Structure formats: C-alpha cells, structure tokens
Structure 1
C-alpha cells in the first residue's frame, strides 16, 4: 500500500471573499438577534457592536485601496470567526431545549463582546488613520527633507497603525522605519508626538512585549524625547518614565543605555524631574552609575544632575548614598560622565552646607583640585571650578585654596585665556581668596584682562568681581606700577569713569582708581591726571557716586590740587 498523500495546505481565501462572507453573515445575524428573549441586556450590547461593525465594513469597502492594504487581510478572518461564534450563541439562546449553564452562557457572551470590541477598535483605527485611501501594499518609502508636511504626517500615521494592529513583523519593520525617520530628520519628532499614538509606543516597553519589539521601542522613545520639549512632554504625560526606569532596572545592557538616555532627556524638564522619586527612580539611577556601561553611566549621572535641582530629591540622593558614587564617577568615569558628575557636584555644593560637608567628607576638594589641574575640557572645567568655588565657603577649603600657588596661577591663566564663564568664576575666586603678596605679584599679568572684564555687561556680577579682584591685586606696590605702564588698561579705566558711559557701574572703576593711587605715588597720580581721570572723578563726586570723593582726594592730594581743579573748571 502506498502511504496516503497529504494534500497541500490551501491558501486563505482572498480578502474580498472574506469580506463578502462577513457582510452576508451580518445581514442575517443582526435582525435574528431581535427575537432572543434570554440574556436580553447582553444581546443588546452585542447588537450595538454588530451595527457598529456593519457601518465600519461599509466604509472600508468604499475605500479605493482597502484590499491592497497589508494590515486588513489578517483582521478579516478573525472578525469572521467571531461572527460565526456569535451566530452559534444566537442559535443556542434561541433554542428552548438547549441546557447549557446560565453562568457559562453569560461568560461566552461577554467574551464574544470583548473580541468584537477589540476587532472594531482595530478596524476603526485602520479606517480613521487614512491609510486605506492610498495604496500601501508595500511599506511606504521614508519621507526626505523635500517631502511635504502632509506626506510626513501620512507616513507617521501609517507607521503607528502598523505598530498598533500589525503582527510581529509589521511592528518590527514599522519601528525600524520610525527609528530611521527620527535619526535622519530632527523635525520629525514634533510630527510623531502630534500625529502618532505615543501611548501605544509606550505600551511596547512592557516586559510582556516581544524582546525585539521592546528593544526597538525603547530606542524609538529615546530618539523621540531627544527631539524637543513637546515630544518629552508627550512621552512623560503618556506614562513613559515608569517603564523606562523598569528597563534600567532589569533590561539588557543595550536597552539600559537607551532607557537611561530617555530618562535624562525627560528629566531635563523641571516639570518632569519631581516624578523620579514617585517612581522610585533614585536608587535605580545610582545603581546604574555604579554598574552600568560608560554610556549608561553618563546618562544616569546626567539624569541625577537634572533632578538634583529639586530639593526633595536632593534629600533622597543623600539618603541613598549618591554623593560617594558621583565623586567616584568624577574621578574615574568616562569623559561625558565626568563632565556631568562635575556639574552635579557643583549643584549639590551650592545647595546647602549639609551637602558641602558630605562632599568634603569624600575628600571632595582634593579630588576636584586634582581634576582641575589636569582637565582639558572647558565645559567640565567650568563645573569643576564652580564646585570648588562653592566649597570655598568652608574655612578649611578657603585656607587650602588661598595658600595654593599652583591653583592661584591657574585661575589667573583662565582669566587671561578662558571663556567668559571660566573668567567669571576665576575672577570670583580671585576676589574672594586671601592671597599672599608674592602670589599677587606673580599673577600681575592678568590685570589687563580684569580691566577688560570690567567692561562686560554679561554675565551679571562679572564687573563687580573683576573690580574686586583688581583692587585686591593693587594692594601690592609693584602691581600698581605695572598697571600704570599698561596704557590701554589705563585709558579703559578712565573711559569707564565717564558719566556718559552707562555700560559700567561707576563705583567699580572708582574703586580701582582709588586702589591704584592709594600708595601716594606721584607718577601714578600724574598718569591718571594726564589721562583725564581728575575731571571725571570731580563730576562723579558731585553726583555722589560711592567712593568718588575719596578717590578724588587721593588723586588730587598734593599742592597741585588747586591748579588741576582750576584748569578743569576753566
């Protein structure tokens, strides 16, 4: 005997045939349910859903390309199967001799209603997205920079339709396309936030989602939140922060990096930062700082830096032991993590005496000084120097910094060659510290730069600290002589004294001139008088500018006073 031949599997019927079968079954099923007298409330619910389904299918069949859409054919057989199940239940409920249990029948009817609801939702989504009105048998090509807003919007809607109701392969391909779109077009994030169903994207972060889909979803979310305030707000309001923190807690290494990146971007918005505590995120981020990859550590400490501006969260950071972890990253972390850790230390150091003490207990000043002497990156240097400035309020730190010739020389160099932010912090330290005369003489070369900084309108406070630093350096006789030899700086100071020059508060150049002539040097007085300072100070004294009368007295305190004054009046 020959073995029986297994017939080849039959291909599924075409979508048009399936839709015809559904339509025909609905045509008979809807009126036949009206005569059912048992479980009337449940059948009323089913009738409402069947009517909604009939209306949706009518709209779909009117769409010109419905049969070409790859998402619809897989849905129709499931709808037909549900309708056949409902037809069976209708027959049982109409048969008086049917003896099935009441509770079991109620359960079957409820399940059928649930299936029908889900299928109606999928069909409605497909119809309302507009994708049935265009041929999408092949995955749409990605819009480019020359594409219209309408093309981009349609593409995004099609992607999210595939993400929501497509099978695994549809979801994977749609997420791939979404990721590429977000990478290639920065502006697309706004369109995705507005037109896409972001809540559905967030749902794919759930641990129950397929691994490959979940990994693509977290990548897409991380790119989306990097696209601006609106996408960040959208992801946060759709509940994205919690699932992202769970991924950091138990996801793969690659997923942790993307999730940490997303959390850093979300917490950059202060309106979102508070929620880290609500989701129990502080210990999760600290643990990632300790055990994550270099990239993950960088994003984790960046997120901690963002939330450290919130007072309640700072308390949690202290309780969870964040300070030693951040200090360790500051010393041994990667370049990106080091910069963010420095920024975080600066924020914490400036927040309260409590945190300054915690940092000092971790040898914070010594570690910061070590990095400061070797750090080549300007942004990181700014944060390091800011943290040092904050720690300088401690008596012990103040004495260490004041006595460190190496540190004094370095901040003097930054005043001459650093960017404006580094110049500001360096001048603030120079004005604040108690520096020896020998060190003041050694850094006299930065006085010309300090005079220039006195003319800077921004940042706020720069003029004041530059003037204070300069006054401090001018307490040394040799520095006063050197300033007098600097013709450009001398003219700048005199121009700043001019009452018509409203860019500089007059009390600052007045204080510097008073300090420069405080030693009673005839040559210093002569230089200022020849440059026109006497007349300017006379005007300022009449205007009651702070310190002007004292500076005028110092400048004109000799027997030539009456001659100079008369000359100016004439």
Structure 2
C-alpha cells in the first residue's frame, strides 16, 4: 500500500513534458509487442491501427502553445500512458499464451480497443474545444463531487475546463465535472451560460443517455437551467434533447421527471419545437404527468400541453390522445391554481376554430365544468374565452338550464378585463333573437357593459360597444340605455377618429339608436359629438353623416333653449335695427323698441312681462309697485340712466381687469416658452391651454371696450361722434360676440 502511494505521488510530481516523453516512448514498444502476437489476429490488427494514430495525436497536442500550462493535457497523457501500458501487458500475455480463456481475452482486447478509441477522440476534442487556450492551475479538487468552499470561490476554477471534462475521459470523470458545474450554477448560473458552447451542450445531451440514474438526474437539472435561460434552445433541440427529455418523463425519477417537464414547458413556447414534441411522441407522457404527477410537474405538463395546443395543426392529435377529458378533470380538481389556468387556456385554444373539438368538449360536459370554475372570486380570461367559443354551438335554453346568465353577470362584475371582454363577445354570439336580448337586459348586462366602455384597452371598449349595439336593436333595451346617465358620455368618447379606436362604428350605431331622445341628443352635443362626427363624416364612416345631421339640429335647439342666448340674439336684432334706423322714426326703430322689450322679458323672467305697462295703459291685476313706477316717467328715465351708467362702469372695470389678466398670461406664456423648445411648445397641453385663455381674454377685452362705446351712445354723452348708427354697429358686433361666447365649449378628450 505504501509502495502504491509512493508511485502515485511520483507520478503527480512529473511534469507534462515528462509524461509526453513517457507516452512517446511507450508507443513503439506497444506497436512492436502487438505485432509479435500470433493469436487473435483480427483484434490485434485493429489495435495496431489505433496505436499507429497515437503519435500524430500526441504531436498535435504538444504543439499547442499552452500545452505545458494546462492540467487537462497532463491528465490526458496519464490516461494514454495507462492505456499503452495495458496494451503492452496484454500483448505479453498473448505472446506467452498465458491467458486463462479465449473469451476473457477477447473481452479484454475489445475493452482495450475501446479505450484507444476514447483516447484518440479525447485528444482531438481537447484541441477543438479551445480549452487549451485557457491557462489554469486548478487541481483535481475542482472536480471533486463536493468541491470545497475555497475551490468554488477561487478565481482559478476554470468553467471552460469543467465543460471540456464533460466531453473527454471516462464516465466517472464526467460525473465529477458535472457535479462541479451544478454547484457553480447554484451560485452563479450566468458565469456558466456566458462560456457555454454548442459542443458543451452536445456533451450534456449525450450524458442524458448514461446508465447511471444519478448522472441523468443531474444532467436534466443542468439542461432545465439552460432551457429556462432561453439562451441555447436551438442547440438543445438540434443536438436531440427532446427524445431524451421525453424518455426521462416516461421512466425517470421524480426529480428527473419534474426537471424534464419544466424543460419541455420552456422549449414548447416555440411552435416548431411544439410540433417536434408531438412528433417524438411526447403528448402521452405529458398527459400521464397531468393525471399522476406532483403539483409542480402537473402544472409544468399542463403548461406544455397548453403551449402545444396553440399550434392549430396538432390539435386533432391532442384530442386523439384524450387531452379534452384530462384538461376538464384538471380544471375541476387541479392541485395548483396555475394548473387550472393552464387547463382553461388549453381548452380555449382547442375550441378556437375547430367545430369538431367544440362538440367533443361539450359532449364531455365542458360547459358545466367551465361555468363551475367561473364561480370563483376573480374569473380569468381563459375559462370565459373557452366558454365564449362554445356558446354558439348550443341553444340558449340549454345554457339557461346550466345557469349561464348569472355566471355571465358575475364575470362582467368581478372578472379580469380580459374575462369581461370575452363575456361581451359571448353576448354578441348568443343574442340571435329578441327573447334572448330581452333576457340579457333583464339580467342586468346593460349597465355593466356601459361601465365597460370606460375600460383602458381599446379591445375591451370595442366589444362592449359591439354588445350594446347588438342589444339595442330591441326597443325595450334601447329605453334602458337612455335611462343610464353614463351611456351617452361614454359612447361620445368612442367617436374619437383616431385610427387605433376601432369602437367608433359601434358607438355610432348606439348613438343613432339614442338620437330619437331629445335629452340624449342634447347630451351628445354638450359632450362634443359634433366635432368628432365632422371628422368621421370626412372619413366616410357609415352612419356618421346621419348622426351629424341630428346632432347639428339638436345644437340649434339646445342653443335657442337658453334664455341668455335668446337675449343676445334679440340684442343683435335690436342694435342692428338701431344701426339701420339711425335714430329716425320708422319700421327699424319700432323693431328696436320691441326687441328691447323682449330682452327685458328674457332677463327678468316671465313675471317682468308686467313692465309692458310702462309703455301702455295699466291692465287690471298689475302689481302696485309697477303701477306707481309707471305713474312717474321722470323717475323711470332716471333709473334707466343710472342703470346705463352702472353698465358703463362695469364695462370699464371689465376692460381694466382683462388688460391686467392679459398681461399676466403674457408673462406666464413667455416663461413657459423658455422652458420648452420652440418645436415642442405647440405639442404641450399647458401651453395650448394658455393660448386658448389668452384668445378668450382678448375677445372679452374687445367686447368690453366696445360696450363702453355703446353705453356712451345710449347715454348720448358724445352725440356727434357716437350717433345712433355707430351705437347700433358696435352693439350689433358685441351681441354677436356674446352669442359666440355662449356656444358649448369643446370637451376635453380622454387620454388613453
């Protein structure tokens, strides 16, 4: 034992050059001995041919610049020397014919031939991997099955060398290298991924065929990490990892099955790889995992099958393997919530476009199972999406017996946005008769769909508007929509002409149905529908022109319904008449006086109609204060003059206020212009708002200044300069400005 240890220590002390020299000396001896053997000629001929290739490989290895600095070279030369010594020993036995039996010797010679093949291959790989370019002084502790903390933390640990060890040497050495890589990946996975090459991936895939279950299990763990990283999917698949992973799922350990299933879950995200999994017979093992696996494996298998079901051409194959029944069982009794979600997504994919598969799901009780799953507190899109695909294949009576409507309302109330969107589409598909539409309204769907019009995503708003336009074809439902205060505002917002807004055609359809109501038309106008509809008419959107005509008529009615608007129109007529009459008696002056009286009615409400008594005999029932006022014409004229002076004073004050406000706005705009670049200021909301305020204030300043002139004319303070015609002209212009100011303001559009 002591002698053996001394021999090992002596070998360890030798340099790589000494090992090269030793191997080169052994080669001719081995060849010479092999040629002297008379027995087993076929086997020895093969061995000699391999021995003759050794010098060339040793020469290639020794010619590398880093040959003397790499630990792998020394270890490889030790292995080659050991094989050469074995060849010499077997040759001596055969020459002396001292072997115990022919069969045993044949086996030994076959083993020797295999070792020589391995040595030649490893020498070639050692150069091809490029690992010789990495200077390293790592010791054998780097590849021990349990590396010490020092070896793990040391910068001398060469990951490329460990990866190279996966390709060269015997199985036990590869096992130790694999252990070291697993330990490093636990601490720093990125360091391994950064130096990984295709040849290393190929070596890992080859290790999955090892006879040792432990090696296969650890290899699958490494491959799982590689698959999850997403950095070498193509290499894994091209090197044939899929059949190996499927075999592990079929017959591996629990941990191996879990890691293999997770690997397939990640790889199956590619449609091409999903097809390949089906082609390699991976569907049945995955289905078995769904029925018998633990929670993690079950969820991974369900997700893999869900990914595969995205590919339309393999859906029928999945159905033939019995996936429908398995997914429905998983939806009802899956271990993890994620497993149920994956099952629902799989069913949604399977029923997306294949009527045969829809019938199969319905026959297996799929609608009942999906409805039961939707009873949860927060229904998600996949289950509702699968149900949406199925409802068109059955009658509404059948759905009613299963409690479809209460679940639908529950999804619209409490479901995720995607689930609500799927529910709205389901409404569109089942509402094929007036009875069904009325039932939907009675169940309370309309208010929920109106609320859904406020959703953040364009898709959700579109399907909500589509569902409402479908339901509104029934007069009863249209009345329900008119009663809701949010229906018109929400629908008007969907008239936005932005190309990304795909809901506008359905919004127009809904608003056309509501436009029979005067209240709804007034709301459309007040929320800015006309501006949108003009653009939509130019875009030739169906129904936009008709709705615009109704909205414009409603705008006129809405404007004229305002007492103040009627007052300003009468004011314009009054001052226009004054301009025409120029203070001379005639029809124009009569119109001036009559419109002045009408304006008093508009401003002082109906009970002031009794002021007519000022210019006509007092009728019976006239209030006493007005009768007394009418008895004293001088007092009436005095009150009129005081009123005009007050109005002129207020106009002067308004003028001063507007001048001050314009100055403040001007400073604010200049400050904002400095903060914004010239090209950006007109895109800035704050700057545009300031410009709008400035324009409004400027118009108000012009009106106030002109009102001062009108007041001077009415008071006859400068009769030569401000005659009745000038007064009428200025009054007419200020009246038009007042009418413009009373127009409905442009609404603020919602920013999506």
Does TM, scored on the shorter chain, surpass 0.5? yes
**Deviation, structure 1 residue 496:** 4.3
> Which residue is 1:101 aligned to?
none
Cα distance in 1 for partners of 2:370, 2:506 equals 32
Cα distance in 1 for partners of 2:269, 2:538 equals 51
Task: Name stretches of at least 5 consecutive residues in structure 2 with no aligned partner.
Answer: 98-103, 561-738, 744-752
Q: Deviations over 1:311-355 (max 9, x none)?
A: 453222222222111211111012222111111111111131111
Q: Deviations over 1:197-241 (max 9, x none)?
A: 2122112222x421221111111111211111x422211111111
- Aligned match for 1:156, one of 151, 154, 159: 159
- 1:222 matches 2:217: no
**Deviation, structure 1 residue 397:** 6.3
Contact 1:156 1:196 in 2 (8 A): no
Q: Deviations over 1:388-425 (max 9, x none)?
A: 111112123685169733123223214xx734x33432
Q: 1:109 to 1:341 in 2, by over 3 A?
A: same
Q: 1:375 to 1:248 in 2, by over 3 A?
A: farther
> Which residue is 2:542 aligned to?
546
> Which residue is 1:54 aligned to?
58
Cα distance in 2 for partners of 1:57, 1:548 equals 82
Contact 1:189 1:231 in 2 (8 A): no
Q: Which has the larger Rg?
A: 2
Cα distance in 1 for partners of 2:351, 2:171 equals 50
Contact 1:21 1:80 in 2 (8 A): no
- 1:139 matches 2:142: yes
Contact 2:22 2:81 in 1 (8 A): no
> Which residue is 1:21 aligned to?
22
Q: 1:155 to 1:347 in 2, by over 3 A?
A: farther
Cα distance in 2 for partners of 1:328, 1:561 equals 63
Deviates more, 1:123-132 or 1:313-322: 123-132
Cα distance in 1 for partners of 2:250, 2:314 equals 19
Q: Deviations over 1:160-208 (max 9, x none)?
A: 22333355664344323333444554645743652652122112222x4
Contact 1:64 1:132 in 2 (8 A): no
> Which residue is 1:521 aligned to?
517
Q: Deviations over 1:108-131 (max 9, x none)?
A: 988755432311222343454227
**Deviation, structure 1 residue 243:** 1.5
Q: 1:142 to 1:538 in 2, by over 3 A?
A: farther
Cα distance in 1 for partners of 2:304, 2:194 equals 26
> Which residue is 1:429 aligned to?
426
> Which residue is 2:712 aligned to?
none
Cα distance in 1 for partners of 2:426, 2:221 equals 44
Note the 1:240-389 alignment, pairs <5 A.
240-334=241-335, 335-374=337-376, 376=378, 381-389=380-388
Note the 1:51-130 alignment, pairs <5 A.
51-56=55-60, 58-59=62-63, 63-66=67-70, 71-72=75-76, 75-84=79-88, 114-126=114-126, 128-130=130-132
Alignment RMSD (CA, Å): 4.4
Cα distance in 1 for partners of 2:257, 2:496 equals 60
Q: 1:508 to 1:535 in 2, by over 3 A?
A: same
Q: 1:78 to 1:61 in 2, by over 3 A?
A: farther
Task: Name stretches of at least 5 consecutive residues in structure 1 with no aligned partner.
Answer: 1-5, 98-103
> Which residue is 1:12 aligned to?
7
Q: Deviations over 1:492-550 (max 9, x none)?
A: 54454365x44424423312211222xx3222222223334346545644653201244
- 1:394 matches 2:374: no
Cα distance in 2 for partners of 1:290, 1:278 equals 22
Contact 1:290 1:297 in 2 (8 A): yes
Contact 1:19 1:76 in 2 (8 A): no
Deviates more, 1:128-137 or 1:26-35: 26-35
Contact 1:427 1:466 in 2 (8 A): yes
- Size of the aligned set, in residue pairs, is 530
Cα distance in 1 for partners of 2:32, 2:270 equals 56
Secondary structure in 1 matching 2:138: coil
Cα distance in 2 for partners of 1:541, 1:66 equals 79
Cα distance in 2 for partners of 1:250, 1:559 equals 77
**TM-score, normalised by the number of residues in structure 1:** 0.78
Q: 1:357 to 1:193 in 2, by over 3 A?
A: farther
Q: Deviations over 1:92-145 (max 9, x none)?
A: 6xx9x9xxxxxx9999988755432311222343454227731010318999xx
> Which residue is 1:100 aligned to?
none
Cα distance in 2 for partners of 1:364, 1:284 equals 23
Cα distance in 2 for partners of 1:225, 1:87 equals 49
Contact 1:179 1:220 in 2 (8 A): yes
Contact 1:268 1:306 in 2 (8 A): yes
Contact 2:208 2:219 in 1 (8 A): yes
> Which residue is 2:410 aligned to?
410
Contact 1:49 1:117 in 2 (8 A): no
Q: 1:142 to 1:81 in 2, by over 3 A?
A: same
Cα distance in 2 for partners of 1:142, 1:452 equals 61
Cα distance in 2 for partners of 1:242, 1:68 equals 32
Q: 1:121 to 1:413 in 2, by over 3 A?
A: same
Cα distance in 2 for partners of 1:84, 1:130 equals 30
Contact 2:424 2:449 in 1 (8 A): no
Deviates more, 1:179-188 or 1:523-532: 179-188
Q: 1:241 to 1:544 in 2, by over 3 A?
A: closer
Secondary structure in 1 matching 2:265: helix
Secondary structure in 1 matching 2:53: helix
**Deviation, structure 1 residue 272:** 1.3
Cα distance in 2 for partners of 1:425, 1:353 equals 18
Cα distance in 2 for partners of 1:52, 1:292 equals 53
> Which residue is 1:203 aligned to?
206
Cα distance in 1 for partners of 2:68, 2:212 equals 34
Q: Deviations over 1:66-104 (max 9, x none)?
A: 468885476244333245258759x96xx9x9xxxxxx9
> Which residue is 1:512 aligned to?
510
Q: 1:349 to 1:473 in 2, by over 3 A?
A: same
Q: 1:220 to 1:321 in 2, by over 3 A?
A: same
Cα distance in 2 for partners of 1:142, 1:547 equals 78
Deviates more, 1:165-174 or 1:542-551: 165-174
- Aligned match for 2:182, one of 167, 179, 198: 179
